[in-house]
Amino acid sequence: MKKLLSLMVVVGLSVASPAVWAAQDEAKSETKKDASADEKRAEMDKVAKEALAEVLEKSDKAKELYEKAAGWAVFDNLRITFILSGGGGTGVAVNKASGKRTYMKMGTGGLSLGIGAQKYQVIMFFESEERLTNFIEKGWKVESGADAAAGSKGAAVGTAFIDGIAVYKITEKGLMASADISGTKYSLNKKLNQ
């Protein structure tokens, strides 16, 4: 009887062990996903803070618009061009009153002359809380020809809120006098907002 009981325990453990290991692996995987999401959010926050600081430092007009804005967003993008252009990136939108951060994504595409890649940040200021909320909840698709003039000394006339949004662009060359964001779609990043 003892041998039968021992055999049943061994069989039970051998059957249960894979299920326990699978559950442990699943728990580790979930922890890894959470850590990975936390790392992505932390990196996005860091890039956003640096880009916002650079725009505010280089443009008096940007400071003025930021002070009036209900919120702001920064997107870190990579655009690759080879006859067709395409790219993508991630960003964060921030409500100034509540401090709430919403993580988003963007994608861009179109026809373009040239070959190459460009890494850049897009900084947006939202004139009203309603415009910010609409951007976060419904996204935004920028049609062709949507340029925003950046205000910095020696550059063109500074930006103003156009349809409730002011846009700046920073490339490796610095703050751009013309921020072409045409063909770009911004939307909620559901994975990072869970």
What are the boundaries of each domain within the chain? 54-193
Q: What is the CA radius of gyration of the chain?
A: 24
Q: What is the pLDDT of residue 113?
A: 65
Q: What is the pLDDT of residue 149?
A: 40
| Euclidean distance between CA atoms 37 and 192, whole angstroms | 6
pLDDT in tens, 100-128: 999 999 987 766 666 777 788 999 999 99
Taking the model in full, what pTM does it have? 0.71
Q: Please give the mean pLDDT across all residues of the chain.
A: 75
Q: What is the pLDDT of residue 99?
A: 95
pLDDT at 9 over 60: no
Neighbours of 145 (CB within 10 A): 8
pLDDT at 147 over 90: no
Count helices and strands in the chain by DSSP H and E runs: 3, 8
| Euclidean distance between CA atoms 186 and 171, whole angstroms | 19
Beta-carbon contacts of 116 under 8 Å, excluding residues fewer than 6 positions away, are 80, 81
Q: What is the pLDDT of residue 87?
A: 82
Mean pLDDT of 168-177: 74
Q: What is the pLDDT of residue 103?
A: 97
